[in-house]
Amino acid sequence: MTHTIDYKGFYLAFRDISRLVHSSTSVQEVIDLAVWKTNELLDAKGTLLRIHNLETNNFEVTAARGIAEQYLGKGPVSSEQIRADLNYSDSVRIFSDIWQAPRVALPQQAWGEGVRMILDCPLRHDNDILGLIRVYLAEAREFQQAELDFVISLGEQCACALNKARLIENQQSRYNHLVLQTEKLSALGRMAAGIAHEINNPLGGILLYSSNMFKKTVDEDPCKKGLEIIIRETTRCKGIIQELLEFSRYKAPNKQRLNLNDTLRKALSILDNEFMLRHIKVTKTLAHDLEDILLDGNQMEQVFINLLLNAAQAIDKQGQIRIETWMDADRDLEIVTISDDGCGIAPEEAGKLFEPFYSTKSTGTGLGLAVSYGIVRNHEGQIRVASQLNEGTCFTIELPLDRPAPSEQKKQGNA
């Protein structure tokens, strides 16, 4: 017996569903409409749609029409079962004999309910099966291609809606995770700054009194060594606290036109002793033609000290640090590289270097690079790292030249 096809109904149903797929974020609305229209236009006894639940790995009934409650209560079907039943190349599968159809656990009961034929249409996306539409028919009949095409198209629309919903869900959960991390970090930062502030004053007191006592103590006094340790360790604590305070308090750079090489030389002179004690050879190749650029000298010096100190610590004993500066006139940049032949960084660690409090050193605060990153960014510059484990590390800083914008140049040229 040939079934009369309602082409207009197919067209309207398809139009409504595709409109919903593009306009709504509710996948349930799309699925309900698809099940309803499939059931109505194929003149089916019942239709149900299962969706793959990624957590349970089962296909669970998400929408149904014309199916008795006791039938629906049969629960989810495992993903393995669904995949085993479906031939991968099939867009639809028709079971004309329900006694042979897969997953009809009680064919007698189904027969009693009036089911004579079943049609399955998988919801596929990128080689994955996201769900399945199952249509129950009250009489066995031939399907025309237009009817099959209709179910297949609705299946594609549902798969598209499901995929879109999954993407949105993924993005939402990643976003929520990020927001939580950021909130935690900022709360931690505020707390750290508060504690740092409170500790700073008593530390100052300890340092003052211990230094006074140290000066008044004669060399033979057994307390002298202890006092020295107190002063050294308190000074170290103050240094850490100072870094923490500087990190949490944003300081706008106080920029002046300065020569980058001079700033580098100042940083190097502070660390001369450190390099000597560790037997580190420093090679400088500084460009002679560097233009003065807008820099906060103190802040940039701090950046260089952080990088040079890290390089020295990575080398530990005996090695080489190479420093280069040059001007990239094409890109309007001045560039500094600081390379060492120290321990290097494992690739999986490289992404964490600029995160505050990331440190692999027992006495490190993990703020050196985070502070440096902030300072370079406040100079509209970039800082990058390239490293090879056990070979060495190279930090590159790019800073913009202090040149007027092209429109300004034109105005100046015309003037």
Minimum CB separation from ligand ATP for residue 404, in Å?
35
345 binds, among Mg ion, ligand ATP, none (CB under 5 to 8 A by kind): ligand ATP
Contact residues toward Mg ion (CB under 5 A) are 310, 368
310 closest CA partner among 395, 233, 244: 395
Report the residue number, 10 or 395, with the smaller CB distance to ligand ATP. Answer: 395
Minimum CB separation from ligand ATP for residue 397, in Å?
13
Which residue type sits at 290? L
Report the residue number, 327 or 350, with the smaller CB distance to ligand ATP. Answer: 350
How far is residue 333's CA from residue 63's CA, in Å, rounded to a whole number? Answer: 61
SS3 75: coil
Residue closest to Mg ion (Cβ):
368
Strands 392-400 and 77-78, bridge-based pairing: unpaired
Q: Which residues contact 225 (CB under 8 A, 6 or more apart)?
A: none
Minimum CB separation from Mg ion for residue 364, in Å?
6
314 binds, among ligand ATP, Mg ion, none (CB under 5 to 8 A by kind): ligand ATP
Say if CB 100 and CB 91 are below 8 A apart. Answer: no
311 binds, among Mg ion, ligand ATP, none (CB under 5 to 8 A by kind): ligand ATP
Q: What is the Cα gyration radius of the chain?
A: 36
DSSP state of 42: T
Minimum CB separation from ligand ATP for residue 223, in Å?
30
Minimum CB separation from ligand ATP for residue 227, in Å?
25
77 binds, among ligand ATP, Mg ion, none (CB under 5 to 8 A by kind): none
How far is residue 403's CA from residue 375's CA, in Å, rounded to a whole number? Answer: 20
358 binds, among Mg ion, ligand ATP, none (CB under 5 to 8 A by kind): ligand ATP
342 binds, among Mg ion, ligand ATP, none (CB under 5 to 8 A by kind): ligand ATP
Minimum CB separation from ligand ATP for residue 188, in Å?
16
Query: What DSSP line would sit under 161-201, residue for residue?
Result: HHHHHHHHHHHHHHHHHHHHHHHHHHHHHHHHHHHHHHHHH
Report the residue number, 42 or 367, with the smaller CB distance to ligand ATP. Answer: 367
Minimum CB separation from ligand ATP for residue 189, in Å?
15
226 binds, among Mg ion, ligand ATP, none (CB under 5 to 8 A by kind): none
Minimum CB separation from Mg ion for residue 313, in Å?
7
Report the residue number, 334 or 340, with the smaller CB distance to ligand ATP. Answer: 340
Q: What angle do CA 167, 21, 150 make, to 5 degrees?
A: 120
**Could you give the C-alpha distances from 412 to 34, 291, 294, 305, in angstroms and in order?**
67, 19, 20, 38
Minimum CB separation from ligand ATP for residue 214, in Å?
26
59 closest CA partner among 37, 83, 76, 38: 76
DSSP state of 45: S
Contact residues toward ligand ATP (CB under 6 A) are 306, 310-311, 314, 340, 342-345, 353, 358-361, 364-370, 393
251 binds, among Mg ion, ligand ATP, none (CB under 5 to 8 A by kind): none
DSSP state of 219: T
Report the residue number, 115 or 397, with the smaller CB distance to ligand ATP. Answer: 397
How far is residue 399's CA from residue 383's CA, in Å, rounded to a whole number? Answer: 9
Report the residue number, 44 or 314, with the smaller CB distance to ligand ATP. Answer: 314
Residue with tokens 């952080």: 306
How far is residue 221's CA from residue 165's CA, in Å, rounded to a whole number? Answer: 76
352-360 long-range contacts (CB < 8 A, ≥24 apart) are: 353/385, 354/383, 356/185, 356/189, 356/247
How far is residue 374's CA from residue 247's CA, in Å, rounded to a whole number? Answer: 9
353 binds, among Mg ion, ligand ATP, none (CB under 5 to 8 A by kind): ligand ATP
Report the residue number, 234 or 365, with the smaller CB distance to Mg ion. Answer: 365
367 binds, among ligand ATP, Mg ion, none (CB under 5 to 8 A by kind): ligand ATP
Report the residue number, 39 or 393, with the smaller CB distance to ligand ATP. Answer: 393
Residue with tokens 């002679």: 288
Report the residue number, 44 or 371, with the smaller CB distance to Mg ion. Answer: 371
Which residue type sits at 54? L
Minimum CB separation from ligand ATP for residue 288, in Å?
27
Report the residue number, 319 or 368, with the smaller CB distance to Mg ion. Answer: 368
